[in-house]
Amino acid sequence: MTMWTASKIKASKGRQKLVCLTAYDFSTARLIDEAGIELVLVGDSLAMTMLGYDTTLPVTLEQMLHHTAAVVRGVKSALVVADMPFMSYQVSPEQAIANAGRFVKEAGAGAVKVEGGAFRAPTIRALVENGIPALGHIGLTPQSIRELGGYTVQGRRPEQAEQLLADAQALEKAGAFAIVLECLPPALAEEITAIVGVPTIGIGAGKGCDGQILVTHDLLGLYSGHTPKFVKRYADLGAEMRRAFAAYRHEVENGVFPGEEHTY
């Protein structure tokens, strides 16, 4: 069994496609790990999928620590990456080190993820120099939703594309072990993938990336909010749960459950 670390993920570029998913709880993390997924992200998307907020902004550091620790308990092989929540790292590299340190020390994470381009490079450098592997995230960065104005494709204009290429190179230089590319035109994602020496992990960025990530609730059909075009639904567990809840209700109401076999 491979124990995935940030340095193994970095070294995998050009050797294999990285398969990554989000997880927020022990049981799901265990199933994902057993499926051989290389990287499990405790995404701040849990603000929406687990906590019912409209954006990722309200989730707190304490909530992210709580979910990260649960995921770590479920994982034996994958690298667990904790997503640093809004305003837990933006204030200064010192703030980022202190809070990222809690993800490693208290929750057992193997790495953290921070959003932002070249302007975030000093933070990534500070984390890495202090022994905390950092995953970058550029393109559509949901913590900037108030500034971006919507969940739309990034980098369509030539000057935006140039900036994103420079961002990816700056994050690599600062020491990021991999970079998430969210909602980019596939040609731009391919270009970034070709010029950086660390793996790119795409979400809504086409098949030219070194790996792919999806939000597990989207893949399983568990999230009832807006589902972006880039999501492929591999199961409809929402429908299956509705069916099971209705069957249970019916059997309790009609005296079918509990049966002989469920009774001492």
Q: Find tokens 């933006």 and name the residue.
A: 90
The two three-digit tokens of residue 23, written as one number: 């997880």
Counting contacts by CB under 6 A, is residue 22 touching ligand KIV? yes
Counting contacts by CB under 6 A, is residue 43 touching ligand KIV? yes
Q: Which residue pairs from 161-164 have beta carbons closer than 8 angstroms and sit at least 24 positions apart in sequence?
A: 161/185, 161/188, 161/191, 163/117, 163/118, 164/117, 164/138, 164/139, 164/188, 164/192
Is 182 among the residues known to form the active site? Answer: yes
Q: Which stretch binds ligand KIV (CB under 6 A): 40-48, 70-78, 121-129, 146-154?
A: 40-48
Counting contacts by CB under 6 A, is residue 45 touching ligand KIV? yes
Identify the active-site residue in 38, 115, 172, 182: 182
164-193 binders of ligand KIV (CB under 6 A): 180
Site size for ligand KIV (CB under 6 A): 10
64-93 binders of ligand KIV (CB under 6 A): 83
CB of 68 to ligand KIV, least distance (A): 12
Task: Return the H-helix or E-strand segment holding 61.
Answer: helix 61-74
Of the chain, the end-to-end C-alpha distance in Å amounts to 41
C-alpha closest to that of 188 among 176, 200, 175: 200
Annotated active-site positions, please? 182
Query: Binding residues for ligand KIV, per CB under 6 A?
Result: 22, 41, 43-45, 83, 180, 203, 213, 215
